[in-house]
Amino acid sequence: MAHVLGQNQYGKAENRIVRVRRDSGRHEIKDLNVSVSLRGAFDDVHLTGSNANCLPTDSTKNTVYAFAKQYGIESAEGFAALLARHFVEHTERGVVHSARIRVEEYGWERIRTADRAAEAGDSGHSFVRSGQEVRTTEVLYDGDRFRVVSGLKDLVVMNTTDSEFWGYLKDRYTTLRESYDRILATQVTARWAFDFHGRDGRPQPEWNHSYQEVRRHLLEAFADTYSYSLQQTLHAMGTRVLDHRAEVDEVRLELPNKHHFLVDLAPFGLKNENEVYFAADRMYGLIEGTVHREGVTPVIPVS
């Protein structure tokens, strides 16, 4: 039976790069993990051992660092788009047909001294663990159009009230008690696709501003939704982003339910009035879903 070489790609994964801007006394940091993946006319590399059409992965790594110096890094999306276009349009012989650039960005907050305390202004019962989430980007360019999917992961949020879960389907194996006041906590993984293709004359979105605004709307929807299920909260989060950010066509969310169970303190003669919980890290319910604009075909793959 004949064998056929199927889909293949190669590149340099997880190029760690820190770019420091020193053009003023107030330095700026961009801390990225960049992965490059190329597809194209690479059959001979596999089938005959000829490397004539093979751009070394070391060269792709060097390009990442050189571009960081030459062009700077204003945003993860912009930097990924610059790299993707370069590999497709400027690799010798046109052997690269498409390039996928994946980026994780690690945030750095400036240290505040005592006389620069942050302004108050929270909902009273919603919290975010600062500095833990990772910004993500995936840019695919095939010489004709871009597909940009931005996102974040490891954004841990909690509501200490305004959450219930009751009236659900029950069978012989159901032991879960209905709850009318519970902690709702999750570790958000969110990805969102842009209505930007790079071929219709429209400028690129303001990536950094867009990211901050999408993140803000995700958090505000989580805080503002009186929740009867994590599924309902997921829909509210995705809908709020689409309602407020015209450049976004689709939002996909993965929300593990970080269960908090009331501890039985009766053996110690104590009442537990929704104050002391056991935080279970596993097992957990995993709620996933996509919210997209009507008439738009979803492009974000299921993980």
172-211 b/e (C-beta count within 10 Å ≥ 16 → b): eeeeeeeeeebbbbbbbbbbbbbbbebeeeeebbebeebb
State the pLDDT at residue 109: 74
Residue 171 marked in a binding site: no
| 159 in the same domain as 103 | no
| 258 in the same domain as 165 | yes
**Residue 83 within any structural domain of the chain:** yes
Q: Which two tokens stand for residue 149?
A: 């999917």
Distance CA 67, CA 101 (A): 14
| 264-267 long-range Cβ contacts below 8 angstroms, 24+ apart | none
**Which helix H or strand E contains 35, and what residues bound it?**
strand 28-40
| 189 in the same domain as 81 | no
Q: Which residue has the higher pLDDT, 128 or 264?
A: 264
Residues 91-126: tens digit of each pLDDT: 999 999 999 999 999 988 775 544 434 444 344 466
Q: Are 164 and 180 in contact (CB under 8 A)?
A: yes
Q: Which two tokens stand for residue 157?
A: 């949020």
Residue 165 marked in a binding site: yes
**Residue 126 within any structural domain of the chain:** no
Q: Which two tokens stand for residue 292?
A: 């997209």
Evaluate the CA torsion angle 205, 211, 212, 213 in order and state its sign: positive
**Residue 141 within any structural domain of the chain:** no
Of residues 262, 212, 261, 243, the one with CA closest to residue 105: 212
State the pLDDT at residue 298: 95
**Which helix H or strand E contains 236, and what residues bound it?**
helix 230-244
**Residue 144 within any structural domain of the chain:** no
Residues 189-244: tens digit of each pLDDT: 999 999 888 877 788 999 999 999 999 999 999 999 999 999 999 999 999 999 99
Residues carrying an active site annotation? 12, 57, 259
**Which helix H or strand E contains 217, and what residues bound it?**
helix 207-224
Q: Are 103 and 76 in contact (CB under 8 A)?
A: yes
In the chain, % helix, strand, coil (3-state, to 5) comes to 25, 30, 45
Residue 25 CB partners (closer than 8 Å, separation 6+): none
Q: Tell me which residue has tokens 């999408």.
A: 214
180 pLDDT tier (thresholds 50, 70, 90): very high
Residue 9 marked in a binding site: no
State the pLDDT at residue 125: 62
| 49 in the same domain as 183 | no
What is the maximal distance between C-alpha atoms in the chain? 79
Range of the domain at 175: 152-303
- Is the pTM for the entire model greater than 0.85? yes
| 197 in the same domain as 76 | no
Residue 87 marked in a binding site: no
The count of domains in the chain is 2
| 184 in the same domain as 303 | yes
**Residue 129 within any structural domain of the chain:** no
Of residues 253, 230, 249, 29, the one with CA closest to residue 153: 253
Which CATH number belongs to the domain containing residue 21 in this structure?
3.30.1130
| 296 in the same domain as 156 | yes
Q: 230-244 and 207-224 helices cross at what angle (nearest 10)?
A: 140
Last residue of a domain, one of 74, 93, 108: 108
State the pLDDT at residue 123: 45
| 291 in the same domain as 171 | yes
Which CATH number belongs to the domain containing residue 236 in this structure?
3.10.270.10
Lowest pLDDT segment from 26-30, 102-106, 245-249: 26-30
Q: Which residue has the higher pLDDT, 276 or 98?
A: 98
Residue 67 marked in a binding site: no
User: From the CB of residue 81, how many other CB atoms can be counted at a distance below 10 Å?
Assistant: 22
Q: Which residue has the higher pLDDT, 116 or 161?
A: 161
| 182 in the same domain as 90 | no
What one-character DSSP code corresponds to residue 93? G
Last residue of a domain, one of 108, 123, 143: 108
Of residues 36, 55, 8, the one with CA closest to residue 101: 36
Lowest pLDDT segment from 56-65, 153-162, 272-281: 272-281
| 157 in the same domain as 103 | no
**Residue 239 within any structural domain of the chain:** yes
Q: Are 131 and 194 in contact (CB under 8 A)?
A: no
**Residue 69 within any structural domain of the chain:** yes
What amino acid is encoded at 153 in this protein?
K
CA distances from 176 to 60, 170, 171, 179, 234 (A): 52, 9, 11, 9, 22
| 157 in the same domain as 298 | yes
State the pLDDT at residue 129: 53
**Residue 142 within any structural domain of the chain:** no
| 219 in the same domain as 104 | no
| 286-289 long-range Cβ contacts below 8 angstroms, 24+ apart | 286/254, 286/255, 286/256, 286/257, 287/186, 287/230, 287/231, 287/234, 287/253, 287/254, 287/255, 287/256, 287/257, 288/234, 288/252, 288/253, 288/254, 288/255, 289/231, 289/234, 289/235, 289/238, 289/252, 289/253
State the pLDDT at residue 127: 63
Residue 182 marked in a binding site: yes
